[in-house]
Amino acid sequence: MHYAFDLWMVREFPACPFECYADDAVVHCKSLAQARFVLDRLRKRMEQVGVSLHPEKTRIVYCKDGKRRGSHEHTEFTFLGFTFRARGVRARNGNVFTGFVPAASKDAIKKRARK
C-alpha cells in the first residue's frame, strides 16, 4: 500500500494531509468538492492496483465543530480505536467550546474491559 496509496497521495494531492495504518486511511480535505474529487481519483487509483474501497467504511465525513456548523450525512468516524466527532472541550482558560476531537471508541472500551 505504500506505493499504491502513500506515494501516490503525496504526488497527486500534496495539499491533502493524510494518515494511514495498514489498509485504513483518513484524508483531510478543505471542501466537499475537493473531498469528492479526491475520493473519485482514489477509487480509480485503487482499481489500477487491484484493490477496491470498502463500501461501508469509505465515506466523506464532515468535521463539525464550533466554527463549522453545516450539516452532512456523516459527522463522525472511527480510526485506530478512536471515534472522532464533535464534542465539548474545555480550553485552558476554562471556557467550553465544541471541537472535532477523538475519544476511545465504544469497541475499544469494551475490548479493554474484557481483559
Write out the chain's pLDDT in tens, 115 residues. 788 999 999 999 999 999 999 889 999 999 999 999 999 999 999 999 999 999 999 999 999 989 888 889 999 999 999 999 999 999 999 999 999 999 999 999 998 888 7
Is the backbone of residue 50 left (phi > 0), alpha (psi -120 to 50) or beta?
A: left
Cell numbers describing residue 44: 480509480
Strands, DSSP E only, in the chain? 18-21, 24-27, 77-79, 82-90, 96-104
Q: Which pTM was predicted?
A: 0.85
Cα 84–chain centre separation = 8
3-state secondary structure of 98: strand
Q: Where are the domains of the chain?
A: 1-49, 76-113
Structure confidence at residue 2 (pLDDT)? 81
Give dist(CA 61, CA 3) in Å, integer: 25
